[in-house]
Amino acid sequence: MTKKHSIILQPSGSRGQVDEGQSIRSAARDLGVEIESICAENATCGKCMVLIEEGRFEKYNMDSKRENVSPVTNQEAAYFARRPKLLKDKGWEVGQVRLSCQCKIQGDVLINVPEESRGNKQIVRKSATQREIEIKPSIRKYLVTMTPPNLERPIADWERLAKGLETSMGLVRRGEENLPRWSDFTVDYTCLRTLSSTLREAKWNVTVSVWQDKEVVQLQAGYHEDSYGAAVDIGSTTVALYLCNLRTGEILAAESEMNPQIVYGEDVMSRIQYTIEHKDGLEKLHKAIISTLNQLLKQAVKTANERAYKDEEADSGVQKLASETRTASRPTPESKTRNDIKVEDILEMVLVGNSTMHHLLLNLPPKDLGLAPFVPAIHKSVDVEARELGLHINSAGNIHVLPTIASFVGADTSAMILAEEPHIQDENWLLIDVGTNAELVLGNRKRLVCTSTPTGPALEGAHVEYGMRAAPGAMERIEIDQNTLEPKYKVIGEDGWNTDQAEFKGQVKGICGSAIIDGVAELFRTGIVDSRGKFKIGLKSKRIRQGESGWEYVIAWAEETSIGRDIPMTQQDVRQIQLAKAALFTAARTLLKRFGLESPDKIILAGGFGSFIDKEKAMLIGLIPDCILDNVYAVGNAAGDGARIALLNVEKRREIESVARKVERFELPTDPEFQNQFMLATSFPHMSEPFPHIAHLIPNRVADPMAKNFMK
């Protein structure tokens, strides 16, 4: 038996018995306390710092000592050696402060989780757009009424049903050719198991749900009109699920949740690494996403039923009033039994995600996605029964996963193409899905090329000194006054600009992606940094100062924050954004060149990130190629839309299957010439490109096109 120790986590006060040898981060998770981590527990990101409190805590009858956890490791020591200022500012000493991913429990301890390290439930900003989708679902329902068997016609239940179904389908779809014969129908095994009892309970009058015009997947007693499906976009960070009525196409509920795999690493590479380094890693990551999908399904059904109930109440309220007025003496009519949707009534799910999410969902080892030559297990779409994956929709329900295009161009890109339809355009469209990794698709009805590029986590707020995800307390907008060089900002969870408010104190925690773009663009626009991204020395502002890692510009003073420290944007942060935008820009430029184009006719920014960045500022720093601003569209969750389209229209699945197979994948070259292009692209907006559409914003300074080694 493993020894157990008591731990207490402050300030939440969560406590419990945990196994000796468990890391604090893992133990905290078991007690329901999420501690941040980005580096897949590699002791490099420092987001998981905790404090070991010493002393006798009478309230808990506990003696907490630093000796009750494992000694500081070399990696931890190395990390803290890189952060002298932090330790000094906070007054922490190494040993008191620990990286909770490294520090293991060996006795009773009381642990303080500082504000910065706490994991928060993210505000999910994705939402489904209203879009015209032709409804041709894979599931269709038919009412079948049979003559019960008798000694003269004792034909088996299945054959009786299949014959009835042939008749019923023929009536409903009169005139259609190539309708199946009764002997062509098949039945899902779990559905067969309950066939006999359902037919009898239903007195031989059932609604039959048929998948793809061939397989019977559900029998319901009596008449049922509606069937249900779910479309899901599994992002590395966020999972968004839409519960749909497959007959009407209506979205009955949209639910989203953090991707629980985040605790195993924030980016796909960390998660791939986790599956390689841990024997049960794949199983854990797979189960985590399945479990979240099951929760989302449950929640979506609940939401849909509550909504239906409210609608009904509203209706019956009107009716009641009317009936009271007219026939006050009539007794109340029998209350109709509500036809609640159950999770088992969901008969199909369509899922999309990047190739890593795709593999983890399907429990396929993602190892080779992360190793050259970067090969997925499968391109073509996958159909698998819900019960094979442990998804709690109807066990005969089908799980359809859209095709992948390449190792870093996944089913989410297929879905984006399906939603935005560049493959039927005469114009040349450039689709960009920005995340930790960016996927780009360029082309028209004749040809599509795609590529992907790691943009690094900077655009999502990571690897930036005070970067964070789009969560409460994060700055989401920054502006700097050209004259005073004073900033103003907006914070998620607060209304308006900070400067508009009488008191604005102790709220800010960090900077999220959109504000980072804003910040860098504003530093450039106001001339605080030059076109090479370097801080300009000698400007008159107390906000520009020499910081721990070089020059920095303070956006929020310590007293405006909840972390008690100044929040600056540093030279290093600007460099991170320069690298990210150079990667994205070079990828776009390369695709355009292969196409012989100067610029695309339209730029479509997909993903939650695209919806929140200021497109003018994005162009100002050269994140996206020059283009008429009006032709730059932010379309929100295009991947989710694509999933929904494939859910509601089975022909669209065949369409994207064939389109995905034809998309040309272009690997960004690794030769020196390309590297040079990439280096040039780090400048604002781009050293060798005309940017006519934002020219009026570019500071009147001449960039030095020959500047070398400017990154040092």
Contact set with its own copies (CB under 8 A):
149-151, 154-159, 183, 187, 189, 192-193, 195-197, 200, 362-365, 367-368, 372-380, 382, 384, 388, 404, 406-407, 665, 667
Q: Which residue has the tokens 């300074």?
A: 701
Supply the minimum distance, in Å, between the C-beta of residue 156 and its own copies.
Answer: 4
Side chain identity, residue 355: S
**Closer CB to its own copies, 669 or 705, in the complex:** 669
Residue linked to tokens 């839409």: 242
Minimum separation from the CB atom of position 612 to its own copies (A): 33
Report the nearest approach of its own copies to the CB of residue 378 (Å): 4
| Number of neighbours of residue 570 by Cβ within 10 angstroms | 20
Cα–Cα distance, 139 to 645 (Å, whole number): 14
CB of 384 to its own copies, least distance (A): 5
Residues 45-61: b if buried by 16+ CB within 10 A, e if exposed: bbbbbbbbbbeeeeeee
Give 373 or 538: the residue with its C-beta nearer to its own copies.
Answer: 373
Question: What percent of the chain is helix, strand and coil (3-state, nearest 5)?
Answer: 35, 25, 40
Query: Rounded to the nearest whole angstrom, what is the least distance from the CB of residue 277 to its own copies in the complex?
Result: 16
Nearest-angstrom CA–CA distance, 359 and 683: 37
Query: Closer to its own copies at the Cβ: 106 or 363?
Result: 363
Closer to its own copies by Cβ: residue 192 or 697 = 192
190/305 with CB nearer its own copies: 190
Are the CB atoms for 397 and 384 separated by under 8 Å? no
Q: By C-beta, is 381 or 682 nearer to its own copies?
A: 381
Element (DSSP H or E) covering residue 582: helix 571-594
Q: Using the CB atoms, write b or e for 325-360: b if 16+ within 10 Å.
A: eeeeeeeeeeeeeeeebebbbbbbbbbbbbbbbbbb
Query: Distance between alpha carbon 211 and the CA centroid of its chain, in Å?
Result: 29
Q: In the numeric block, which tokens belong to residue 528?
A: 């605080």
CB 116, CB 509: distance < 8 Å: yes
Question: Closest approach of Cβ 152 to its own copies, in Å?
Answer: 8
Which C-beta is closer to its own copies: that of 373 or that of 672? 373
- Of 342 and 654, nearer to its own copies (C-beta) is 654
Q: Which amino acid is at 377?
A: A
Give the nearest distance from C-beta 215 to its own copies in angstroms. Answer: 12
Task: Give the nearest distance from C-beta 157 to its own copies in angstroms.
Answer: 5
Bridge pairing between strands 62-64 and 109-112: unpaired
HSE-CB at 586 with a 13 A cutoff on CA atoms is 25
Closer CB to its own copies, residue 90 or residue 379?
A: 379
Query: Closest CB to its own copies among 247 and 665?
Result: 665
CB of 547 to its own copies, least distance (A): 41
Helix H or strand E encompassing 399:
strand 398-401
Minimum distance between the CB of residue 239 and its own copies, rounded to whole angstroms? Answer: 22
Angle of helix 189-201 versus helix 157-172 axis, rounded to 10: 90
Coil, strand or helix: which one is 497?
Answer: strand
Backbone angles phi, psi at 679, to 5 degrees: -65, -40
Which of these, 523, 513, 538, lies nearest to 481 by C-alpha position?
523
Which residue type, as a one-letter code, is found at position 638? Answer: A
Residue placing its CB nearer to its own copies in the complex, 50 or 660:
660
Write out the two tokens for 336. Answer: 């109709």
Question: Distance (Å, rounded) from C-alpha 444 to C-alpha 602?
Answer: 11
Look at the block and give the residue holding tokens 């940094």. 529
Distance in Å, CB of 154 to its own copies, minimum: 5
- Three-state SS string over 387-430 comes to HHHCCCCCCCCEEEECCCCECCECHHHHHHHHHHCHHHCCCCEE
